[in-house]
Structure 1
Amino acid sequence: MSLDSVLAAGRAAAEARMRDTVRLYEQAEDTFDRTTGTTTPGAQTTLYTGKARVKPVAQASGEDVQAADREVRLLEYQVALPWSTPLPSGKRVLPGMRIEVTASPDARMTGLILWVTGAQFSGQTTAWRITTEDRS
């Protein structure tokens, strides 16, 4: 059995376990109107919509950080996308982009917004893994 056939079987198996649906997007900076005192969210550009596997990182216990006037708990998640997932030409997944869970067998995950902290690339993996954190 060749390495390519083993990788193809592994990628098919990894994709079969992807039961969540996500949207990977980047968001432009918010704009503040001093006259009205309102903030308008920046435009969102969707880079990917489709199947994924979203799971908490087992060894992560979370980290409490201060955000303005409140404490926020950062919990790590790994989001696996199909290995063959294309991105628009010239785009890379960068920290600060976001992943929204739009559907999941676990209804409590639907609507979860995760912030990208990194992405791993390799020609010898079974899925494309993106590290994220829940900042709620």
Structure 2
Amino acid sequence: MSGDLEAALTAGRAAALELMRETVTILAPSEPDFDWDTGTETTAPMVTLYSGPARVKPDREASGREVDAGETNVSLHGYLVSLPWSTSGTRPPVGSQVRVDSSPEARMAGLRLWVTGVRYGSTATAWRITAEDRS
């Protein structure tokens, strides 16, 4: 039984990888520095957590909603970002950015999403990250 499950997962993970037609970069803020001479905190540079293939698609479970951000009305649209199962590295914290670098869908290139969560599962075919477009 276990061998059948592992074979099915291997095939599913290979199929999921074939659907990853976008290239993304996931960026997270590093720790800000404090300048003791001036008494100010310096802006923290972004750190690259991942760069490579991904599948980016609207998340059916997270429909768009409008919220007020300061004095601006913003629409939030949910996305599901799938990375290869074999991806290792740091889990992107909430608030990290997913930048779509390239896509066969030209209108997606340059899309910037904010990470809202990470999904796990031992029988998953990809590592899935929930994110939102805050435009």
- The SS at the match of 1:2 is helix
Supply the distance in 2 between the matched residues of 1:115 and 1:5 (Cα, whole angstroms). 34
Cα drift, residue 86 of structure 1: 1.0
Q: How many residues align?
A: 125
Q: Distance in 2 between matches of 1:127 and 1:69?
A: 38
| Equivalent residue in structure 2 for 1:64, among 61, 66, 74 | 66
The residue that corresponds to 2:117 in the other structure is: 118
Evaluate the alpha carbon distance shift between residue 100 and residue 63 of structure 1 in structure 2; reply closer, same or farther with a 3 A threshold.
same
Distance 2:20 2:43 in 1: 31
Q: Which runs of 5+ in 1 are unaligned?
A: 32-39
Q: Match for 2:13 among 3, 11, 14? A: 11
Structure 1 6/77 Cα, relative in aligned 2: closer, same or farther at 3 Å?
Answer: same
- Structure 2 stretches lacking a partner, 5+ long: 34-41
After TM superposition, give the deviation of residue 120 of structure 1 in Å: 0.8
In 2, Cα distance between equivalents of 1:69 and 1:43: 27
Percent identical among aligned pairs is 50
Cα distance in 1, alignment partners of residues 64 and 43 from structure 2? 28
**TM-score, with length taken from structure 2:** 0.85
1:36 matched residue in structure 2: none
Q: TM-score if structure 1 supplies the norm length?
A: 0.85
Counterpart in 1 of 2:39? none
Task: State which drifts further: 58-67 or 112-121.
Answer: 58-67
* Corresponding residue number in structure 2 for 1:37: none
Q: Are 2:134 and 1:132 aligned?
A: no
